[in-house]
Amino acid sequence: MTVSTFILKNALRNKRRALLSISSVAVSLFLLVTLQVALRELTLPPQSAGAELRVAVRNKISLTNPLPVRQRGVIEKIPGVEAVTPFTWFGGKYKGEEGMSFAQFAMDAEKLHSVFGEAKMNGDGYEKFNATKDACVLGKITADKYHLKVGDQITLDSTVYPGSLSFHIAGIYAGTPDDRNMLFRQDYLDESIGVPGYVGMWWLKVKSADDMAPVIKAINAAFQNTSAEVRAESERNFQLGFISMLGNIKTLIASISTVVVFTLVLVTASTMSMAVRERFRELAILKALGFRRRELFAFILAESFGLAVVGALLGIGGAYCLYTFGNIGKMTAGIFVSFEVTPRIMGVAALVAALLGIISAVAPSLSVARMSVVNGLKTLD
């Protein structure tokens, strides 16, 4: 028998308790990882390719106030601007559904590729979108959800404009961080139920990363003291603006994570104490046989550490598998699309587990240190 087999035998002496301890550590770490990923998704949305060259321009009053079309010519003339497209929120509800299940925006058909080039489309999607007025392109997630394919017609009831519009699907795209949106043509909107002369916002692409800052500055300056002042910002900052709107939800999730960790420590520590108390007598015998305190501590620590590590493997691994291979969109009713368990988050969770293993060994070690051989031998009578 070696020391490690002794430790292993000890840890598994009460298999049920070992299993329960491991399970509670696993469940808690699973929860911790989930909350951390959710928090990360809320505070750092996934970055799309090409984002570093995109600028969003909205009305300074707020995103919901429209912008006049005449601004377009001014923006296009600013040096460093490669392409500009309007981007107007339609707020359509699909087939009498209660709420909006995906977003739709009106834009310029010929600018789709130059501004949002990362969208991959099969066949002649881009050409058809350019050629047909009532064409639209649809994200793959939404298309799959409603079993829609190229050529199908869809009708949406707008919550913003009076009435509804019908579209023909010209293409189905994929490859953006959120393949759910629908894009259709601004000129189609203007001619049917829209407000000609006004758009929701502008999206533009700059020629190089160096043009970003000067372009933003130039746009903000260009419309200063006009009736429609604008706020131009990078795609990243625009997204962060959305996150700021979520308000206290972030704090809420962060505090819950803290509570989870605390509960975890509490419960595991108490389990370890129980495990040690159950074999006080044994430890006393070991002491009598000549084992020193240091060695007894090592036994306790190795065991508690081992339980925490196995629990961590199960909890973190389980979360990783579930969120990597499961359909997160379906699980969260569409609130989250990607739910990436990053190495950093896994690292943090593993660190929590390691600390947990150490902290849990402290209290039992202290009581073992205080125990005299004679008392220990008497304990259970």
Partner 1 sequence: MALPLTYNFRNVLVRWRATLATILGIGLVVAVFVLVQALAVGLEKSASNTGDPRNIMIVRKGSTAESTSMVSLAQLQIIRYWEQIARNEAGVPLVSADVITLISQPRIDGRGEANVSVRGLTPVGMALRPQVKLISGRWFTPGKREVAVSQKMARRFAGFHVGDSFRTAGNTLTVVGEFDGSNSAFDSEVWMDADETRSLFDRQNYSSLLVRAASPQAGQEIVSRIEADKRLPLLAGPEVKYYGDQTATAMPIKILGNFLATAMSIGAVFAAMNTMYASVGSRTREIGTLRVLGFRRRTILAGFIIEGALLAAIGGVVGCLLALPLHGVSTGTMSFNSFSETVFEFRITPWLAAKGMIFAVVVGIIGSLLPAIRASRLPVITALKSV
Contact status: 154 vs partner 1 (CB under 8 A): no
- How does DSSP assign 260-329, residue by residue? HHHHHHHHHHHHHHHHHHHTHHHHHHHHHTT--HHHHHHHHHHHHHHHHHHHHHHHHHHHHHHHHHS-HH
Within the chain, where are the H helices?
3-11, 15-43, 71-77, 112-115, 125-131, 140-145, 186-191, 212-222, 235-245, 249-278, 280-288, 293-325, 328-331, 343-370, 373-378
Report the residue from 2, 333, 343, 370 that binds partner 1 according to the rule CB under 8 A: 333
Binders of partner 1 in range 30-69 (CB under 8 A): 30-31, 34, 60-65
Q: Which stretch binds partner 1 (CB under 8 A): 5-13, 80-88, 239-247, 340-348?
A: 239-247
Q: Which stretch binds partner 1 (CB under 8 A): 29-37, 105-113, 124-132, 212-220?
A: 29-37
What distance in Å separates the CA atoms of residue 39 and residue 232, rounded to the nearest whole number?
A: 27
Report the residue from 180, 185, 231, 287 that binds partner 1 according to the rule CB under 8 A: 231
Residue 211 CB contacts under 8 Å (≥ 6 apart), including other chains = 79, 80, 81
Report the residue from 73, 245, 294, 330 that binds partner 1 according to the rule CB under 8 A: 245
Contact status: 158 vs partner 1 (CB under 8 A): yes
Binders of partner 1 in range 94-113 (CB under 8 A): 99-100
Contact status: 6 vs partner 1 (CB under 8 A): no
What distance in Å separates the CA atoms of residue 47 and residue 40, rounded to the nearest whole number?
A: 12
Whole-number CA gyration radius for the chain:
30
Q: Which stretch binds partner 1 (CB under 8 A): 46-54, 80-88, 154-162, 165-173?
A: 154-162
* CA distances, 94 to each of 70, 138, 162, 233, 366 (Å): 32, 13, 15, 31, 65
The least CB distance from residue 249 to partner 1, in Å, is 5
Closest residue by Cα to residue 95 from 146, 137, 170: 146
Contact status: 176 vs partner 1 (CB under 8 A): no
Residue 15 CB contacts under 8 Å (≥ 6 apart), including other chains = none
Contact status: 270 vs partner 1 (CB under 8 A): yes
Q: Tokens 């020391």 appear where?
A: 3
Q: Which stretch binds partner 1 (CB under 8 A): 21-29, 69-77, 138-146, 183-191?
A: 21-29
Report the residue from 267, 337, 354, 377 that binds partner 1 according to the rule CB under 8 A: 267
Closer to partner 1 by Cβ: residue 25 or 107: 25
Binders of partner 1 in range 188-227 (CB under 8 A): 225, 227
The least CB distance from residue 170 to partner 1, in Å, is 26
The least CB distance from residue 90 to partner 1, in Å, is 11
Question: Do residues 219 and 55 lie in contact, with contact meaning Cβ atoms separated by under 8 Å?
Answer: yes
What distance in Å separates the CA atoms of residue 48 and residue 28, rounded to the nearest whole number?
A: 32
Q: Which stretch binds partner 1 (CB under 8 A): 120-128, 130-138, 167-175, 330-338?
A: 330-338
Question: Do residues 344 and 39 lie in contact, with contact meaning Cβ atoms separated by under 8 Å?
Answer: no
Report the residue from 36, 71, 142, 273 that binds partner 1 according to the rule CB under 8 A: 273
Q: Which stretch binds partner 1 (CB under 8 A): 112-120, 141-149, 184-192, 248-256?
A: 248-256
Within 86-229, where are the H helices?
112-115, 125-131, 140-145, 186-191, 212-222
Residues engaged in binding partner 1 (CB under 8 A): 16-17, 20-21, 23-24, 27-28, 30-31, 34, 60-65, 91, 99-100, 157-160, 162-164, 225, 227, 229, 231, 240-241, 243-249, 252, 256, 259-260, 262-264, 266-267, 269-271, 273-274, 278, 332-333, 335, 380-381
